[in-house]
Chains A and B, each alone.
Chain A
Amino acid sequence: MNAAAIYEVGGVLLVSITSDITDSDIIELQEMLSNRIAQSETRGVVVDISALEIVDTFVGRVLAQLTAIARLLDAETYVVGMRPAVAMTLVELGMYLPDNHTALTLDHALEKMRNAGLTDGLPRGA
Chain B
Amino acid sequence: MAFPGARKIATIELRTDRDVAKARSRVSEIMKAKGSRDLMTTRFVTAVSEIARNAATHGKGGRLLVYDMPDPRLIGVECVDEGSGIEDVERAMVDGYSTRQNSLGRGLGGAKRLAKTFTIESTPGKGTVVRMTGICTTR
Chain A contact residues, CB within 8 Å of chain B = 19-24, 53-58, 60-61, 83-86, 88-89, 92-95
Give B117 Cβ to nearest chain A Cβ, in Å. Answer: 16
Q: A53-B45, A94-B95 are in contact. List 6 more A-B contacts (CB 8 A).
A: A21-B21, A22-B17, A24-B17, A84-B38, A92-B114, A93-B114
Cβ–Cβ contact B24 & A92, under 8 A: no
Cβ–Cβ contact A93 & B25, under 8 A: no
**Residues of chain A with a CB closer than 8 A to B20's CB:** 22-23
A23-B39 in contact given A54-B49, A93-B46, A94-B95 (Cβ < 8 Å): no
Query: Which residues, 94 to 138 on B, are CB-close (under 8 Å) to A?
Result: 95, 103-104, 106-107, 110, 113-114
> How far does the alpha carbon of A56 sit from the alpha carbon of B53 in the complex, in Å?
10
> How far does the alpha carbon of A84 sit from the alpha carbon of B38 in the complex, in Å?
9
**Residues of chain A with a CB closer than 8 A to B17's CB:** 22-24
Smallest Cβ-Cβ distance to A93: which chain B residue:
B110
Cβ–Cβ contact A57 & B42, under 8 A: no
Chain B contact residues, CB within 8 Å of chain A = 16-18, 20-21, 24-25, 28, 38-39, 41-43, 45-46, 49-50, 53, 95, 103-104, 106-107, 110, 113-114
Smallest Cβ-Cβ distance to A27: which chain B residue:
B17
> How far does the alpha carbon of A84 sit from the alpha carbon of B106 in the complex, in Å?
21
Cβ–Cβ contact A58 & B39, under 8 A: no
Cβ–Cβ contact A83 & B113, under 8 A: no
23 inter-chain pairs at a CB distance below 8 angstroms, sorted by A residue, are A20-B25, A22-B18, A22-B21, A53-B42, A54-B45, A55-B46, A56-B49, A56-B110, A57-B104, A57-B106, A57-B110, A58-B49, A83-B38, A85-B38, A85-B41, A85-B43, A86-B42, A88-B39, A93-B110, A94-B106, A94-B110, A95-B104, A95-B106
